[in-house]
Structure 1
């Protein structure tokens, strides 16, 4: 059989075995000298079968003293080296890995050991410690088996999810077709029923009209006959005959006139029509305006499978500073900040709903500017470096205020609108996204010039009073987020696909304020004294406990590094800044 180095080893073949003959393995060093000597041992390091004389060299040289010799009778054939496919080669020097540095837990070739690890205290030959690896090998096998099992679980679960998704998509079509068939049957039944009633009405009315027509035709014939008689007597009769006829016909003519007058007074125009209710009239608008249904996309984790680590980064919050909101000399009521937003330079602008004010705070939460308002403000948004927009709950308008770098606040202009708006945020440089008050479409668009427009979203037919809902907009994915305070729900609407994700979770209680955080995650105020982080797919990622009761409004700085939050706890109003880290 072929060996490493081109040497040959002579063995008695099993095919040549003769009963009573003992198989012999020859000494390889002796064979190279054309000597036929039986091997007594096998050296795994030398990779040779050797007789006793040849193996004595291991006692002569110190570097060979650690070679392991095994009785040749225990090994019928020289072990064949396993092809490691380069795994036993040094990546840097492409030499055999022979050493292991226990200080740095690294495999080394001879060059690595001399050049890179000469200062290390424990560099040993791999063959000397190889047997120690049995426990490590066992641990690796256990871990790999666990990894394989988990990966197989993911494969099976994803296959199942794909099958479920395919079925759900087909079921959507089946459900719509079934509804269409039901609707068509309803219209078929409606057609039969309405046609039957119309025909019955027609038969009855036609009979009545026919009788009236017949009577009138008789009146026409009687009048015609009487006219002919009068003409004949007038032309051919004597004066006495004419006199008699006039007196005889006067009564008949009066009776005929009376009958015809009655018929004329009862003239009727009979029509039949069918009108649909207003809710069933379909105007020439896109399907998204009147589609009688809602496609809902929802992602959730199976209870039977361990959750896979989320791709979305988890937001971590650390308190920077906090102030208690107290009444000052010109405050009539306790402060209630119903809206707040960061200016591009880091200053914080707020609106005090109870005392009708717009206020400016610096990064240390020191009040540096104030402006009185003539109406009850609801929310505020930074439009540019020196301009903010404020909504009102008692007036149909949006005010634009100038905020100078020196914290002077003045009214720039007012846009009058047709609806009342509460929450407000920027959609882009030309348009706002606003939350409506007592209107069936909870979110709308308003341009900076005051032009109002609805989203092409199939919203549920529900009105929100002041304080029951808030909204925000995710620009990168074109999504609108709406909170429903009393349903304890957050809705994520995808404008492009006109679909929505419904988010309900034990950590979300009476959600109010909502904003967009780092990586376009959604941050929501929850009554449970916390800020809840939600992914765009509707997964609740984390919850941060606040040291304030009933958080109400929050906003994030332009660089997504700081979050401001305020609350609505009577006697415990606060304003806080928190540092955002991922």
Structure 2
């Protein structure tokens, strides 16, 4: 804060690092050297070495030097003098228009502010001031603190990315080591089981081998006996021997046949389960894991900085005039780039223009009941007409003259309308299973490639808006007391339901791409983050807020209502 008794025009010094001034010739050589002096003839800050060149060349010896501090002070004074001049007329600002909050030179005051009620001489304002503190120093200090916070966050994020990569590598190495240990344990278990099986099987095989070797010896003995009998014995002896040995030979043969039929085949093998079996593909084609690369806004961290404040500026009562059929109902409102407001009156079939003071300055009679309006350019706007199956374009001049421009025929009933880009609208439907569609400026219609809710809205029960920077569509649902946020990039949906949102109507995009919704039953404007977090709720001094719009620079907000016998339009200043 400035000290009491300080002179007018002084501003508190903003704490922080002192800005260094660098030598211009060194900068031209991609070197950063702190400047020691300023040459008025060269119009350059120079270091000690560069300024010594003036002693070498005779043509430079008569140049005038001053200190860096003096030069910076001189430049500051020139900037202050330039700041006090009107850009259009190059004359000193002498007046301040309190109605339009603008500085005026004498020519501006005469040419542009004749109708204003309060144009005051700046000297009188300055004379009545008791303190020089405008709060700018504090605002700049806060802004710099925020900027430094952003810089710290970016540095932290960069460090975090590098740390995440390192941790990912460590995790993969740890997993590889764990897998290798698992396979070592698997090998040990399988080999031990196989060796036990081998030992038991070999013992059984050895026993069978011993038995068969005994049988081979018996066979050899029987063959030799039979051979001897048939060679040396008499027929009587041969017959007797054959009869005695037949039973033994038959038993022996049956035993051998049984053993042949019961022979076992031994096989040892190991097969991986399908869950462990990897196909013979390179890792680029078969990644055994999921790599997540994602950049996102930490809205939960910064949501407090997106919370806005509304300060009432002006308000008017919307009454039936001489040529009106009924009470006006403003079903659509939007800002022109220069700050004027356009509105469409559904009941009286009108398009109207208001200046920054909410004074009606232009009217155009329509032949149909308009539903919504969207400003297309500096002097063109588009109006949806629902069951008339057309979008009407009007031209609004700087002098507030409104004229018909052209008409595009469409095949769908459109209620809300807003600009998507230079060549397309995002339009909300009614009595149609496609709640939101895209329409080009020449009337070509197409659908979004996302999965919207399969619901058909009656007229007036839903409104939509498009957030260009994040490619999101927002839809209000009066019957369900809900707001739906659809992400066109990811084909995902966020449903916002809260006691603060009751019969949501109009919707607009506010500061930092936040979503502003008219909550009809709670008589408030609810602010929602792009991710669906409710940031705040503002109680309106009106019943049943119906439509809302925000100026292009996000500095002003207009709200209209739908309360029989008490229709209003209010203007607010937005601050963060």
TM range (shorter): 0.3 to 0.5
TM-score when normalising by structure 1: 0.47
The TM-score normalised by the length of structure 2 is: 0.48
